[in-house]
Amino acid sequence: MIQIYHNPRCGKSRNCLAFIKESEKKFEVINYLDNVPTFEELKTLIQKLNFEPLALVRQKEKIWIENFKNKTMTNDEIIQAMVTYPILIERPIVIKGDKAIIGRVLDNVNDFI
């Protein structure tokens, strides 16, 4: 089953969700702002994305700029920042099995699902 980490206030996330709905494939929506992933869940998700944790951070978010920008942080500290402030997590994230992608480009989502 496909999962999408979704923020309903984000246009890219809404577009991705609509695209997945149109595909008629089974999917689950995870509103990660309401159901914040745990540290371990986020760590697993980052492994599925094959990213370094910093690549998943929305670095232009005010919270990041004011609290974390230009600080030396370990990967675990970056993950913890996203758990504490889930708005920092890039979106949407589409998960299928043991792989995941950032679903901002619908052509990529189409190829992935």
pLDDT tens sequence across 42-85: 999 999 999 999 999 999 999 999 999 999 999 999 999 999 99
What's residue 110's pLDDT?
A: 94
Residue 10 designated active-site: yes
Average model confidence (pLDDT) across the chain: 96
* Token pair belonging to 28: 């689950």
pLDDT confidence bin for 89, thresholds 50/70/90? very high
Strands 2-6 and 27-31: parallel
Rg (CA), the chain: 14
Task: Collect all residues with Cβ–Cβ distance below 8 Å to 113 and sequence separation of at least 6.
Answer: 2, 20, 23, 25, 94, 96
Choice among 2, 3, 10, 73 that is catalytic: 10
